Amino acid sequence: MKRKGFTLIELLIVILILGALAAIAIPRITTSAGTAKTNACMTNVDLLNSQMELYAADHSGVYPELGTLTSDPNYFPDGAPACPFGTAYQMGANHRITPHSH
């Protein structure tokens, strides 16, 4: 009588292959998530700097405080962009926004 199904060796080989694929894929996924956060943060910084310049152009060259800019619905109708790392953006002496070190 012949049984249908997989042998123990076949199951072990499939488990080893799946383990090897997971070992390759998981580090790449976590690296991609970190890269995505960094890119989103830099996009927010670029947006904040663009809006800072626009505000200054609209107000005779006067630059606002960061809180004034981000709370103004004319420049951020959906609210201020948040850093994906959970840190605050800072304004330097040259009126440029920089991310807090991550």
Please tell me what DSSP assigns to residue 85. Answer: T
- β-pair partners for 97: 91
Angle at 100 between CA 98 and CA 102, to 5 degrees: 125
Spatial distance between the Cα atoms of 99 and 76, rounded to a whole number of angstroms? 18
Classify residue 24: in a domain, yes or no. Answer: no
Tally of structural domains, the chain: 1
Classify residue 26: in a domain, yes or no. Answer: no
* Domain coverage including residue 101: 38-102
In sequence order, what are the residues at sequence separation of 6 or more whose Cβ sits closer than 8 angstroms to the Cβ of residue 37? 84, 85
The CATH number assigned to the domain holding 66 equals 3.30.1300
- What tens digit of pLDDT does each residue of 17-45 get? 999 999 988 888 877 888 899 999 999 99
Q: pTM of whole model > 0.75?
A: no
The number of residues in the chain equals 102
- What tens digit of pLDDT does each residue of 39-93 get? 999 999 999 999 999 999 999 999 999 999 999 999 999 999 999 999 889 998 8
Classify residue 9: in a domain, yes or no. Answer: no
